[in-house]
Amino acid sequence: MKIVYDQSHKDHRPKNELDRHRWIPHPDTVERVERIKEVLTVEFPRNFVGPQNFPEAFLGLVHPQPYVEWLKKRCQEVNENEEYFPKVFFWYDRCFDVGTPIMRNTYEVAWKAARVALTGAQLLLDDEELVYALTRPPGHHARSDMCGGYCYFNNAALAAEYITTHADLYVAILDLDFHHGNGTQEIFYDRDDVLYVSIHGNPEDSYPYTGYPDEIGSAEGRGYNVNIPLVRGSAGKDYLKALEIACDEIDRYDPEILIISLGFDTHEEDPIGGFRLRENDFFAMGRALSHLKIPKLFVQEGGYNPEANAAALKSFLEGLNV
């Protein structure tokens, strides 16, 4: 397995988040991804590569130019060591929450994360069978024209669109983060060349409050968007049943590439997730995915307890048998 990693994510250090009218420390820390990297270094010490160079115009595969220019401009207006919290009222800013601060280097680090995912996609097109894109900041909440949920560019969606554009292949995206990937859903909602399947927390009480079962796609994409929400507190038994359903959907679609938006915030010790998965459940997840005999790109999403991330990944890789 190849791992795509860039250490510039360490420059992304959001300090605060506004949660229910109170300021709290921002959970997207450097350590949460560095612990994952440590596990991967032990397992695959010689398999790390850096991101390739891509023209910034490739962001346009998913994100329209007005949004890209807005984010770049906002970053330029922020002083060093300060944070700008987008104004979501009346759509003054292109952001849908107040938990996604913008700093002077946000555009730069988000673009680098996107390049990590794009590199992963290219490695699959170069005949790699398994690639891990260690992206941070995450991406699956980023809509085509809005940031949010700690996400600025949609890394998994960019990888999928890169593949469909450059190789005319059918792609499935399996989202295993606790939080529904509302951005990825929005981007591919009316298309049939990218299947989106997500297992996530109940949208009635879990951010971003989207991902109901009746959100099935529209126009040509009707039936190609599959949401499997689970109640808060769900443990391994229920989750693995949902994963079996998800894998059946992917089998029926028969894609040529599978992208997994992989979040470890489903672990029972994650501070902002709501499931109760343990290490043996992540082993079973890896084992289930190993039966899908197609090239896979893992794109890192959430997971906000560094030690839980490491433990979950170790078990996941054992189950994946790589």
In a 13 Å sphere around the CA of 181, the CA atoms on its Cβ side amount to 35
How far apart (Å, rounded) are the C-alpha atoms in residues 211 and 251? 21
Query: How many residues does the structure list for the chain?
Result: 322
Q: Kindly provide the b/e burial profile for residues 27-36, where b requires at least 16 CB atoms within 10 angstroms of the residue's own CB.
A: bbbeebbbbb
**Long-range CB contacts (< 8 A, 24+ apart) of 99-102?**
99/17, 99/18, 99/19, 99/26, 99/148, 99/149, 99/150, 100/147, 100/148, 100/149, 100/150, 100/151, 100/152, 101/14, 101/15, 101/16, 101/17, 101/26, 102/71, 102/74, 102/75, 102/78, 102/147
One-letter amino acid identity for 76?
A: Q
The one catalytic residue among 26, 63, 140, 141: 141
Q: Is residue 141 flagged as an active site residue?
A: yes
Gyration radius (Cα) of the chain, Å: 18
Q: Which residues are marked as active site?
A: 141
